[in-house]
Structure 1
Amino acid sequence: MIKAGKNILAIAVTFLTLSLSCPLWAGKTPEHRINEAIKTIGNMSEQDDAQTMGEVIDKGVAVAIFPSVVKAGFVLGGQYGEGLLLRHDRKTGKWYGPSFFNIAGGSFGLQIGVQSTALVLAVVNEDGLKAFRGDTFTLGGDVAVAAGPVGRRTSAATDINMNTPIYSYSMSKGLFAGLSLEGATINHDPSANELYWGKKISPADILNKQASSKEIKPLLKEIEKLIRMGK
């Protein structure tokens, strides 16, 4: 039994090593992340039940997009993804950012395979946005997160508890049936932000900078398209 256990552990370590060295986990340029975020929002907008997602984003104060959160596991498991956040001023309709973040987390249990999940976090109040103004925080620990409602015109602003800081939406493919966000950690990515903005800059300062570059405008158009679906 001991020998078998050691063999399973060795296989698990080998599997994770290979998975984590996969190009899917490699660092992407800010421009690449933006382009993937455009595709993510576009794909989600095509879903029949995406209207409420647009409504929740419209009622919120920010949206975070992680185009590919890769979860790999063989008994042991881990997940990692790179994304960005845009702040939304509902009074003026202006968008601010982007601020670049990574998401990571571990898991244990009987699991095997690799799953790539497109993840969107709708930040609906200032408690949720405050977390993104710092360097790192844990979902379900430092800030509450819940699965976002879906469907056609469910009046999300009144039918769900908008006091929950963050609502999550995902599109999954691969061998896993879903993505658990409890315990996942979101970290500020200083290198990506410095590369995009041309200088060292804090997440809080980024969220005061209007999103106006030619690279970000197509993403804003896709988000606004999704929002219109919920009106």
Structure 2
Amino acid sequence: MIAHVKPLGSLLCGALLACAPMIAQSQPKVGLAHDQEMARVQLQAMANQHIDSARTAVAVLEKDPLMTEALRWSKGVFILPSYRRAALAVGASGGTGVLLRKRDNGSWSAPAFFKLGTLGIGLQAGVEAGPFVFVLLNDKAMQQFLQRNSFSVSADAGLTVRNWQKVARGTVGKGDVIAWSSAKGIFADVAAVSVDDIRYDEQLTNAYYHRTLSAGDVLADRVSNDQAQGLQQALATASAPAP
């Protein structure tokens, strides 16, 4: 009995036609995965830039003896490398900052990322300024950053936020927060500093650590990133006890 064998070309064409729907279905998935990976890489690069800028801000702050004393009193710090107040009806005001908790041994936790909506310092519209550092002097101020929804660091939120230019020596540990900026004169006529519409940036934090995290997870030392060690060491040096 003679078996009839189909030409190889016919067999290949048939196989390709049979597989065509499967190939078509897999292509969107591959494209989506590639886009997601690219977005994650971009977010991670953005996070790295914020950390590097925060480290630069600490290097400037460290030159001010009053602020290093404040860091010695602190429970944590919120660093905003830059802030922009948009012109009326053009763009959005805000910036991205990093929060770190000071451990009992004087070292610092890994950073968590937060978005900021409004900085109440009377900055003119369309102007970008910074860096800004908010030294959190007690657990009350730290707990404000662990809320799930939008929150404020202000008198309306029950916190005393002091303008660093109006803080006298010997009173550094009083109040809840000390607000500092390297921009000369920016706080000169501001009696009460407020930070409003702060939100935990889960997307940026997750991209930085390659996993899903809450702000509490980061501050509780459940994660680390070697890229942040420079910032952590800079804060440890700036907040070290005076010789």
Same fold by TM-score, threshold 0.5 exceeded? yes
- Counterpart residue type for residue 97 of structure 1: A
| Deviations 1:5-46, CA, capped at 9 Å, x for gaps | xxxxxxxxxxxxxxxxxxxxxx77211110111111112334
Q: Is 1:35 the counterpart of 2:52 in the alignment?
A: yes
| Closer, same or farther: CA 36–161 of 1 in aligned 2, 3 Å | closer
Instruction: Give the TM-score normalised by the residue count of structure 2.
Output: 0.67
| Closer, same or farther: CA 30–111 of 1 in aligned 2, 3 Å | closer
- Counterpart residue type for residue 165 of structure 1: D
Instruction: Give the TM-score normalised by the residue count of structure 1.
Output: 0.71
Q: Is 1:146 the counterpart of 2:162 in the alignment?
A: yes
Which one has a bigger Cα radius of gyration? 2
Give the number of aligned pairs.
194
Contact 2:137 2:173 in 1 (8 A): no
User: Partners in 2 of 1:29 and 1:111 — Cα distance?
Assistant: 26
Contact 2:84 2:126 in 1 (8 A): no
- Counterpart residue type for residue 117 of structure 2: A
| Closer, same or farther: CA 208–172 of 1 in aligned 2, 3 Å | same
User: Partners in 1 of 2:222 and 2:74 — Cα distance?
Assistant: 17
Identity of aligned residues (%): 21
User: Partners in 2 of 1:216 and 1:120 — Cα distance?
Assistant: 17
Contact 2:80 2:98 in 1 (8 A): yes
Q: Which residue of 2 aligns with 1:216?
A: 228
User: Partners in 2 of 1:229 and 1:149 — Cα distance?
Assistant: 22
Instruction: Identify the range of structure 1 (194-203 vs 76-85) with the bigger mean alpha-carbon deviation.
Output: 76-85
Q: Secondary structure at the match of 2:81?
A: strand
Q: Secondary structure at the match of 1:29?
A: helix
Q: Is 1:95 the counterpart of 2:111 in the alignment?
A: no
Instruction: Identify the range of structure 1 (55-64 vs 142-151) with the bigger mean alpha-carbon deviation.
Output: 142-151
User: Partners in 1 of 2:112 and 2:195 — Cα distance?
Assistant: 21
Q: Is 1:169 the counterpart of 2:180 in the alignment?
A: yes
**C-alpha displacement at 1:112, in angstroms?**
4.8
User: Partners in 2 of 1:184 and 1:81 — Cα distance?
Assistant: 12
User: Partners in 2 of 1:120 and 1:111 — Cα distance?
Assistant: 19
| Higher RCO (Cα < 8 Å, 6 or more apart) | 1
| Deviations 1:56-89, CA, capped at 9 Å, x for gaps | 1111110111101112335999631111011002
Contact 1:38 1:222 in 2 (8 A): yes
Contact 2:70 2:173 in 1 (8 A): no
The root-mean-square deviation of aligned C-alpha atoms, in Å, is 3.3
Q: Is the helix fraction higher in 1 or 2? A: 2
Q: Secondary structure at the match of 1:127?
A: helix
Q: Is the strand fraction higher in 1 or 2? A: 1
| Deviations 1:147-206, CA, capped at 9 Å, x for gaps | 13578x924xxx2452x2221101227xx9448742522110010111112222111121
Q: Secondary structure at the match of 2:131?
A: strand
Q: Which of 61, 66, 75 is matched with 2:75 structurally?
A: 61
